[in-house]
Amino acid sequence: MNEWDNMTIAGFQRQLAAGNASSLDWWAACRERIDACESSIQAWEYLALEPTVAMPAKDGPLPALFGVPVAIKDIIDTQRMPTTWGTRGYHCVAASDMDAAIVTQLARLGALPMGKTVSTEYAYFQPSKTRNPHDTRLTPGGSSSGSAAAVASGMVPVALGTQTVGSIIRPASYCGVVGFKPTHGTISTSGVKALAPSMDTVGWFSRSVEDSCILFSLLTGAAPVRRLGSLNGIRIAVCPLPSTPPLSPDVKTAIDEAAMRLTAQGASVTPLRLGPVFDELVTHQQVILAYEAAHALASERIRFGESMSRPLQALLEDGRRLSLERYWQSRQAAEHARHEISAHFTERVDAILAPSATGAAPEGLDSTGDPLYSRAWTLLGGPCLNLPMHRTSEGLPVGIQLVADRFKDAHLLAIAGVLMT
Amino acid sequence: MNEWDNMTIAGFQRQLAAGNASSLDWWAACRERIDACESSIQAWEYLALEPTVAMPAKDGPLPALFGVPVAIKDIIDTQRMPTTWGTRGYHCVAASDMDAAIVTQLARLGALPMGKTVSTEYAYFQPSKTRNPHDTRLTPGGSSSGSAAAVASGMVPVALGTQTVGSIIRPASYCGVVGFKPTHGTISTSGVKALAPSMDTVGWFSRSVEDSCILFSLLTGAAPVRRLGSLNGIRIAVCPLPSTPPLSPDVKTAIDEAAMRLTAQGASVTPLRLGPVFDELVTHQQVILAYEAAHALASERIRFGESMSRPLQALLEDGRRLSLERYWQSRQAAEHARHEISAHFTERVDAILAPSATGAAPEGLDSTGDPLYSRAWTLLGGPCLNLPMHRTSEGLPVGIQLVADRFKDAHLLAIAGVLMT
């Protein structure tokens, strides 16, 4: 631990303003940490050789993320760094024609791209090399494996990720960091490799809810997230989706602890049981994923099909066999569920408390773990937040997930801000 | 006119099967037409030097689009042809890393890419060089200018286009061809330059509804579109959106003629008046377009902003000034309207009859015409079809638009199939 491990974006801005830090200090501290632990964690696919500093306007205020190091998931195009899409070399471009839109936005805000963080293959299931910083025998989760591990090990304060199934919430839970998936469609996916566009969502990992709030407002043009004094009047519903099987003991404890803290801060916490159609969302999510992936990755399959992992090949084969009618049936089921859950939220729920994952990070690097508890929420499209609150008796993080209705991202972040203080 | 001008996909397959045509005949006929009229029409940004023929499997049946020439709109990535995104050179790549997914799908089906057809700048409003085949003093419409003009002049039987505002329906109307925009999200946009992803839709131009039906089924995995014997029992509602100003005389005549033909074929045709919130969709469409374009084209703006046309610069500036809250307000309004119009369709309407454009193609190449009558329908997300039925007293085409509920593409195409026979 050093002074940089608890540094926040706002804290760094204050240091800069007071003349106690210079623009490259945070970058240098991160590089030092990377030098110390990258060989064991292997979070990076590529490291930028030197910081690219955006020159601030003369006499103007510093841009809001000036000097903040950020990691870019390796399925996101970068003009000055290679992209491999987690393919371990069979698909690699030395430089993209354009930076992804979100990379340009971060640069305009003064952030410093530190490098490209490891992704599973095309952001689907096949793991790469990254290890869990809490125990290198464990998976960090996926697909945003490197981004979660880099933030968890202090190599960078902020990292971009994407979620189509559970690729932000699960690794955030396994690695013990804040992970935020905004409402679908909030952050531009221009220059981000598509897997299943109706669910692909750009989000990020951070060390604090506070930093996540700042990023949300800066990257979207939303008003600053207001700070709540307490959770008085906030209605929380506990609702794992799918509703079966029963939660594992570690996850149940994590949820119970979170419920207690929420209650202590003034919120009402009640169970919510959604109808059986909500359990079917897991299947619909799989159908939509397969159909859209088979179409979105049609060119990659033709060129690199033989190099692809078996799970990815199987997904694309499954998708090719699905008719449009079957796909649309699942899309319509998802829409009905979205409509129904919006009514729940509007009438009686501010946020839902749910598991982030089926337990702590499993052992081994052959799998990135089970995304079961993210499938339905990702399909429903609302904002999802992993909060690192609980540790198992072995000291491993088990996160809890807070979910809100679509377009209620700021309210969700505000609630989490109170919970985590 | 020659035998190729009325050739259909199914007709060519029969010729091939009977040994009356060889695989490159259609391509050669198209090249001949291109040589004859490209200098006056200027539909092409790039012409493929020779056909890329997919080798059919030994002893297997020929792929379904074997030997069918297709044009690819210039905002769609191609690995073997340059892409300029309608920028007239300020943004140009000699070859993309990957073919867009839809290009690979067409190639797998045996289609022959003839070249890249002219687009307006990044598929927004700034026109390029293409002229209307019916009168070269007139605009062909946009943004899919080259694709519409190429099909209208017989240079190619099928051309890919995209629609975010009115970029398929309007040029199809001005050029007098069939234009089809499927339900949003039906065709993968992987490798297609994003303008406003929640509305960007890949579709196509063809000479007949029959060919459009074949493409729909082949490219999506849908069942073949069934043929209806008549329109008995089919309920058509006449509903221009927006509902004001009054239709121009040419458009009114086109709608009236279509209504008469529909009635003659057994359909019931009644007026439908939607509430004032539907007229507001035009404004919501503009807000969503500006916000999403400003985010999606953030990198292009940083690199090429000074070369961009004034209308595009203005759009991106407008979008940058919009808050997330304002954008989401329009997204939610669109969703409510989608829900409401679905109820109309389910209860009492098979298809809506509406104008495709405000009139025949206007004179001059400085503008691609007014997309007014497409904005709301594009935002609502359902399938839209331009049918070339009427001609003005000067002989210029004025199309009519048929619109159906989302996911009812096959039903819409089936209705149009009867109407056009």
A226 to chain B, closest Cα gap in Å: 14
Known active-site residue A167? yes
Q: Tell if the CB–CB gap between B189 and A197 is shorter than 8 Å.
A: yes
Known active-site residue A73? yes
Low-confidence ranges of chain B (pLDDT < 50): none
- Tell me the average pLDDT of chain A: 96
The phi, psi pair for B390, rounded to 5°, reads: -110, 150
Residue with tokens 């979207």: A220
User: For residues B418 and B385, what is the distance between their CA atoms, to the nearest angstrom?
Assistant: 14
Q: Of A411, A404, A413, A358, nearest to A382 (Cα)?
A: A404
Is the peptide bond preceding residue A245 cis, with omega within 30 degrees of 0?
Answer: yes
User: For residues A380 and A282, what is the distance between their CA atoms, to the nearest angstrom?
Assistant: 11
Tell me, rounded to whole angstroms, the distance of Cα B59 from its chain centroid: 36
A352 to chain B, closest Cα gap in Å: 21
User: For residues A183 and A407, what is the distance between their CA atoms, to the nearest angstrom?
Assistant: 6
Find, in chain A, the residue whose alpha carbon is nearest to that of B78: A299
Residue type, B250: D
User: For residues B329 and A162, what is the distance between their CA atoms, to the nearest angstrom?
Assistant: 25
Compute CA distances A390 → A177, A212, A417, B246, whole Å.
Answer: 11, 20, 17, 64
The phi, psi pair for B69, rounded to 5°, reads: -70, 135
What average pLDDT does range A324-343 have in this prediction? 97
**Looking at the predicted complex, does its ipTM rise above 0.90?**
yes
CB B277 within 8 A of CB B313: no
CB B114 within 8 A of CB B156: yes
Rounded CA Rg of chain B: 20
CB B401 within 8 A of CB B354: yes
Residue type, A216: F
CB proximity list for B5: less than 8 A, separation 6 or greater: B154, B207
Is the peptide bond preceding residue B242 cis, with omega within 30 degrees of 0?
Answer: yes
Q: Which of B145, B167, B173, B212 is catalytic?
A: B167
Residues of B in contact with A194 (CB under 8 A): 188-190
Q: Tell if the CB–CB gap between A297 and B101 is shorter than 8 Å.
A: yes
Task: Please tell me whether residue A353 adopts helix, strand or coil conformation.
Answer: strand
Tokens standing for residue A270: 């009640």
Supply the DSSP symbol for B29: H
Q: Using CB atoms, which residue from A99, A100, A185 is nearest to B198?
A: A185
Tokens standing for residue A230: 């307490």
Known active-site residue A198? no
Say which CATH number the domain at A73 has.
3.90.1300.10
Compute CA distances B378 → B164, B169, B191, whole Å.
Answer: 7, 10, 21
Q: Annotate B319-353 with DSSP letters as a single string.
A: HHHS-HHHHHHHHHHHHHHHHHHHHHHHHH-SEEE
CB proximity list for A295: less than 8 A, separation 6 or greater: A319, B101, B105, B187, B188, B190
What average pLDDT does range A285-292 have in this prediction? 98
User: For residues B101 and B220, what is the distance between their CA atoms, to the nearest angstrom?
Assistant: 12
Find, in chain B, the residue whose alpha carbon is nearest to that of A77: B299
CB A177 within 8 A of CB A57: no
Show the domain range for A282.
1-421
pLDDT band of residue A56 (cuts 50, 70, 90) is low
The phi, psi pair for A295, rounded to 5°, reads: -80, -45
Residue with tokens 């709608």: B255
User: For residues A46 and A262, what is the distance between their CA atoms, to the nearest angstrom?
Assistant: 40
Residue type, B307: S
Choose from B78, B183, B299, B409 for mutation: most chain A CBs within 10 A.
Answer: B299
User: For residues A281 and A279, what is the distance between their CA atoms, to the nearest angstrom?
Assistant: 5
From chain B, which residues contact A within 8 Å (Cβ)?
93, 96-101, 103-105, 108, 185-191, 194, 197-198, 220-223, 292, 295-300, 302-303, 320, 322-325, 327-328, 331-332, 339, 407
CB A103 within 8 A of CB A78: yes
User: For residues B5 and B33, what is the distance between their CA atoms, to the nearest angstrom?
Assistant: 10
Q: Tell if the CB–CB gap between A302 and B100 is shorter than 8 Å.
A: no
CB A78 within 8 A of CB A104: no
Compute CA distances A61 → A39, A222, A234, B81, whole Å.
Answer: 38, 20, 37, 45
B135 to chain A, closest Cα gap in Å: 38
Q: Each residue of A224-253: pLDDT tens digit?
A: 999 999 999 999 999 999 999 999 999 999
The phi, psi pair for B354, rounded to 5°, reads: -145, 165
- Rounded to 10 deg, the angle between the B310-321 and B281-296 helix axes is 100
Choose from A186, A324, A335, A407 for mutation: most chain B CBs within 10 A.
Answer: A324
pLDDT band of residue A2 (cuts 50, 70, 90) is confident
Q: Tell if the CB–CB gap between B296 and A188 is shorter than 8 Å.
A: yes
User: For residues B385 and B169, what is the distance between their CA atoms, to the nearest angstrom?
Assistant: 7
Is the peptide bond preceding residue B82 cis, with omega within 30 degrees of 0?
Answer: no
User: For residues B220 and B212, what is the distance between their CA atoms, to the nearest angstrom?
Assistant: 12
CB proximity list for B129: less than 8 A, separation 6 or greater: B42, B118, B365
Q: Each residue of B9-68: pLDDT tens digit?
A: 999 999 999 999 999 999 999 999 999 999 999 999 999 988 877 666 677 788 999 999
Compute CA distances A261 → A264, A269, A390, B26, B262, whole Å.
Answer: 5, 10, 12, 72, 65
Q: Tell if the CB–CB gap between B188 and A296 is shorter than 8 Å.
A: yes
Number of folded domains that form chain A: 1
Q: Of A282, A270, A271, A290, nearest to A244 (Cα)?
A: A282
CB proximity list for B123: less than 8 A, separation 6 or greater: B73, B75, B85, B86, B143, B144, B162, B164, B167, B193, B195
A354 to chain B, closest Cα gap in Å: 25
- Torsion, Cα B287 B290 B291 B297, to 10 degrees, reads 170
Q: Each residue of A383-421: pLDDT tens digit?
A: 999 999 999 999 999 999 999 999 999 999 999 999 998
Task: Please tell me whether residue B65 adopts helix, strand or coil conformation.
Answer: coil
User: For residues A195 and A188, what is the distance between their CA atoms, to the nearest angstrom?
Assistant: 14
Residues of B in contact with A220 (CB under 8 A): 324
